[in-house]
Amino acid sequence: MRRPLHTLLLAALFWAFLVLGSCNCSKTTSDQERDRITYLPGQPLNTQFSQFSGYVTVNETAGRALFYWLTESPASQDPVEKPLVLWLNGGPGCSSVGYGAAEEIGPFHINPDGKTLYLNPYSWNNVANLLFLDSPAGVGYSYSNTTSDLITAGDNRTAEDAYTFLVKWFERFPQYNHRDFYIMGESYAGHYVPQLSQLVYERNKGIENPIINFKGFMVGNAVIDDYHDYIGTFEYWWTHGLISDSTYEVLNKYCDPYSAEHPPIECVGALALAETEQGDIDAYSIYTPVCTQTSSSSSARFKLRGHYPWMSRAYDPCTANYAQVYFNLPEVQKAFHANVTGIPYPWDTCNYDVNGNWGDSPVSMLPIYQELIDASLRIWVFSGDTDSVVPLTASRRSINALKLPTKKNWYPWYDNGKVGGWSQIYEGLSLVSILGAGHEVPLTRPQHALTLFKSYLENKPMPTLSETLKSSS
């Protein structure tokens, strides 16, 4: 029997009330529609998911506004039922849109012509709604009307601005209120992710049903703890034959992480010698060819941060060159509702002013890890094992410093019947290595990265051989 029309209308209104709560619904709808992307230049015709992008002002006085790009799950995957994942790239000063979205986990990757896009079959939006944020102000399309903001950024303000962004973004997109929410990222986002996670967790305290329904975080090849990162990085260089015995000895003797801002001359000399000994390799992916194309990004000597003096060469595969072309196209910026204020510099994968003038940066994230482990949040750390910049040995040493009890010792995990890496499960944390992956794991091992992501969301250990064989039979 058909239900009367007025009953259906009442039911629809009741559902809308539950979803939107007490928001100003007309304004929310108009703000969302203003941010909707109808079509990106060069976009494939068979796109089956919704996209939104635009700005959220996080500081009215300074005029700081952060740019985001939301790519929802395809309609066939029921996006309403999927969690929301915030992705952050590091640097500091590098674009989550340019790296995370455009060459790693996003649904679109850029063709060599710099003008057209193709679908990424391993996109993480197949299993979650993805929210990419360019942070802090000055990175990517994000901007500030206060010029000094570009040279006074640091960890604390970055975290506070990102939290303000989240609060305002959820107001604009109330359909995501109370949805399972995770924060993820890589590299120097090894600072951003736990710091923002801590803010969300602590400000949710006392709220029975928080709007930002934070469940946990995951970081890859992440800067975690200065002391252990130093030891682990030099160890990786030596054990992988990248430096000599004598250089390794000098690095261990003179490169004290607690004096990294003003290292002794012996350390500076050893680091320079280590770079010479390593030769012309891609330090972020030591077994893959370097890109021979030139761009403004590759010609610049990009120091990821003075605090880590070995981070001296930017990861600049040719895909980053394509991004630099694409995101500077006027028609692309118009489609993204970006650069609305006429930013006085071209879009780039990384902002060197922001990076070179980075301010506060705590020496360790381990106290935050411990706090959030005690809060029973889901925490995973993953590492591509061919990255020599923030290598697996550094991550293992940092995690070991937490002295967590082991639930399942180091074991191989499998993808399609082949070893995909190794994993160890601790009380409150899982560590996963990805075989043959570089600094940007989803770029060099996209299928393995998607398997990792699914396992995290399902809160299941990385699959064993018998499990993969069973699923394929």
Q: Are residues 82 and 123 in the same domain?
A: yes
Query: 322 vs 241, 269, 349, 443, CA distance in Å?
Result: 32, 35, 10, 14
Does 252 reside within a domain?
A: no
CA 154 from centroid of its chain's CA atoms: 17
CATH of the domain at 390: 3.40.50.1820
Q: Answer for the pair 141, 67: CB distance below 8 angstroms, yes or no.
A: yes
Q: Are residues 392 and 439 in the same domain?
A: yes
Token pair listed for 116: 């057209």
> When comparing pLDDT for 378 and 46, which is higher?
378
What pLDDT is stored for residue 376 in this prediction?
97
Q: Are residues 225 and 296 in the same domain?
A: yes
Distance separating alpha carbons of residues 421 and 406, to the nearest angstrom: 18
What pLDDT is stored for residue 25 in this prediction?
60
Does 172 reside within a domain?
A: yes
Q: Are residues 107 and 231 in the same domain?
A: yes
Q: Are residues 415 and 429 in the same domain?
A: yes
- pLDDT tens-place string over residues 186-231: 999 999 999 999 999 999 999 999 999 999 999 999 999 999 999 9
- pLDDT tens-place string over residues 342-394: 999 999 999 999 999 999 999 999 999 999 999 999 999 999 999 999 999 99
Look at residue 15 and tell me whether its pLDDT is greater than 60: no
Look at residue 308 and tell me whether its pLDDT is greater than 70: no
Does 270 reside within a domain?
A: no
Residue 63 neighbours by CB under 8 Å, 6+ apart: 57, 143, 144, 145, 146
Of 317, 292, 298, which Cα lies nearest the Cα of 104? 317
Look at residue 303 and tell me whether its pLDDT is greater than 80: no
The amino acid present at 253, given as its one-letter code, is K
Among residues 53, 73, 123, 187, which one is catalytic?
A: 187
CA 2 from centroid of its chain's CA atoms: 49
Does 28 reside within a domain?
A: yes
The percent of residues in the chain predicted with pLDDT above 70, rounded, is 88
At residue 291 the predicted structure's pLDDT band, cuts being 50, 70 and 90, is confident
Does 273 reside within a domain?
A: no
- pLDDT tens-place string over residues 64-113: 999 999 999 998 888 999 999 999 999 999 999 999 999 999 999 999 99
Among residues 109, 191, 228, 439, which one is catalytic?
A: 439
Q: Is 187 a catalytic residue?
A: yes
- pLDDT tens-place string over residues 109-152: 999 999 999 999 999 999 999 999 999 999 999 999 999 999 99
Of 424, 321, 41, 372, which Cα lies nearest the Cα of 204? 372
Q: Are residues 203 and 182 in the same domain?
A: yes
What pLDDT is stored for residue 309 in this prediction?
46
Does 251 reside within a domain?
A: no
Q: Are residues 223 and 328 in the same domain?
A: yes
At residue 259 the predicted structure's pLDDT band, cuts being 50, 70 and 90, is low
Among residues 387, 388, 430, 433, which one is catalytic?
A: 387
Q: Is 439 a catalytic residue?
A: yes
**Domain extent at residue 6:** 1-34
Q: Are residues 5 and 138 in the same domain?
A: no
Which range has the worst mean pLDDT, 212-221, 400-409, 464-473?
Answer: 464-473
DSSP structure class, residue 242 = S
Number of folded domains that form the chain? 2
